Chain A
Amino acid sequence: MIALIRNEIQKILLKKKMLLILFLLLIFVTLFSYGQNYAYERTIEQFEAETSETAFDWRVPAGQRLDDLERRRSNESIPDEVRASFDREIQQLNYFIDNDINPITPTAFKFNAEFAEQGIVLFIPLLVVILAADLVSGEFSKKTIKILLTRAVPRWKILLSKYLALLMMTTILVFIVAVLSTLVSFLFFRELGASEPVVTGFSVFEGQLVSDSTVLVSRLQYSVFIYSLVWFVSIIIASITLLISVTVDSSSSAIGILMASLIGGQFLQFFLAEWELVQYFFVTNLDLTRYLTGSYQPVEGMSLTFSILTLAVWGGLSLIFSFIIFNRKDVLV
Chain B
Amino acid sequence: MKTISLTIDGKKVTASEGEKVLWAALDNGIYIPNLCALRDASESPAACCLCFVEVEGKSQPVTACTERVEQGMVVNTRSPGALRLARTALELLLASNVVDCAHCPANGSCELQKIAHHLGVKLKTRRFRKLLRELPVDSSSPVFIYDPNKCVLCGRCVWVCRERLGIGVLGFAHRGFERLVTTFADEPIAESRCRECGECVVACPTGALTFKEQ
Judge: A and B partners, yes or no: no
Q: Which residues of B contact A (CB under 8 A)?
A: none
Q: Which residues of A contact B (CB under 8 A)?
A: none
